[in-house]
């Protein structure tokens, strides 16, 4: 058993580190969500911010857009040219995807400064890509509402998780200490 543990020590270290970071960040995010009362920013600050930034981008693309709180659930409605096209819920703010990304980066840590900077840069890329994703999805839903299912459940999740996967591959192949130690 000891020989097996020694043989797979890097794998076990990766799994334990990944789960620990993921657990800590997820608990921290849930504490944040539970502290948010939705009075100033509905449903919570980050989701509200994503909805407002989506609104600004859509208006910049010359769609008459506004966002309003959903009356029946904790989300923000996106109204384009008077038509309700989508809602921004807590899961649309990309924080859970960023937590997943950061957990992997820390589990495959490189030098501290490199890990910190890449984690920050990757988080910003994911956040920005998510905003673009919501904008394109909203436009798609406005023009092609009958494609709602394939747009929302197949194409756009594939794009956001594909981006995360590419960022992971760059990290592992260019910056991770563990890969360089095995070369």
| Domains of the chain: total | 1
Looking at residue 38, its pLDDT comes to 66
Looking at residue 179, its pLDDT comes to 52
Looking at residue 79, its pLDDT comes to 96
Q: In whole angstroms, what is the distance from residue 140 CA to residue 147 CA? A: 8
Domain of 52, in residue numbers: 22-177
In a domain, 4, yes or no: no
In a domain, 1, yes or no: no
Q: Which residues of the chain have pLDDT under 50?
A: 180, 182-183
In a domain, 106, yes or no: yes
Looking at residue 11, its pLDDT comes to 87
Looking at residue 16, its pLDDT comes to 95
> What is the pTM for the complete model shown?
0.89
Looking at residue 102, its pLDDT comes to 97
Alpha-carbon torsion (87, 91, 95, 101), positive or negative:
negative
Looking at residue 149, its pLDDT comes to 85
In a domain, 16, yes or no: no
In a domain, 13, yes or no: no
Looking at residue 78, its pLDDT comes to 97
């Amino acid at each position: 058993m000891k020989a097996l543990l020694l043989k797979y020590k890097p794998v076990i270290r990766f799994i334990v580190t990944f789960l620990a970071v993921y657990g800590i960040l997820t608990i921290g995010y849930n504490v944040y969500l539970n502290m948010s009362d939705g009075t100033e920013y509905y449903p919570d600050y980050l989701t509200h911010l994503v909805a407002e930034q989506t609104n600004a981008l859509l208006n910049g693309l010359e769609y008459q857009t506004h966002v309003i709180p959903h009356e029946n659930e904790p989300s923000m409605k996106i109204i384009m040219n008077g038509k309700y096209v989508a809602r921004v819920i807590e899961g649309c703010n990309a924080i859970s995807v960023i937590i997943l990304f950061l957990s992997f980066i820390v589990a495959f840590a490189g030098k501290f400064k490199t890990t910190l900077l890449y984690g920050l840069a990757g988080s910003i890329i994911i956040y920005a890509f998510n905003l673009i994703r919501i904008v394109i999805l909203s436009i798609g839903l406005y023009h092609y509402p009958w494609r709602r299912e394939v747009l929302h459940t197949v194409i756009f999740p594939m794009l956001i998780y594909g981006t995360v996967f590419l960022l992971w591959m760059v990290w592992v192949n260019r910056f991770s200490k563990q890969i360089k130690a095995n070369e």
